[in-house]
Amino acid sequence: MATARWNDKIIASSDDTVVVEGNHYFPLESVDASVLKPSDHTSFCPWKGTANYYSLQVNGAENANAAWYYAEPKEAAAQIKGRVAFWKGVEITP
C-alpha cells in the first residue's frame, strides 16, 4: 500500500498507484479531498499534456501547488487519467 504524507497527515493511500517518471499517481478517490485546494497553476509536458495543480492545506499549513493531475492526458499517458501525484515535501512511501 502506497501512502502520501505531509505535515504529519496521511493525505492519500492506495494499493493501486501508477508510477510514471518516478512519481506515484494515486487514484483521486484515494486522496483526502478535504486537504485539496484547487490552484490556477498549470504546466505542460510534451507527452502527457497540460497538468493542473492543487495546493495542500493540512493542520493549518499550506503547500502551494504540491499536487498535480492531468484532466485530459495525451494518449501516451492515458493510464494517469483520474490520478493525482505529489511533490514539494510530500513523503511517498511505496
Give tens-digit pLDDT for 26-44: 999 999 999 999 999 999 9
Rounded to a whole number, what is the largest CA-CA distance in the chain? 38
Distance CA 45, CA 43 (A): 7
pLDDT by residue (tens digit) across 62-72? 999 999 999 99
Could you tell me if 57 and 45 are in contact, meaning their C-beta atoms sit under 8 angstroms apart? Answer: no
**Is the separation of the CB atoms in 25 and 85 below 8 Å?**
yes
Over the chain, what is the mean pLDDT? 97
Give CA–CA dist 73/43, Å, rounded. Answer: 12
Which residue ranges form the domains of the chain, and what is each CATH number?
A: 2-93 (2.170.150.40)
Query: How far is it, in rounded angstroms, from Cα 86 to Cα 12?
Result: 10
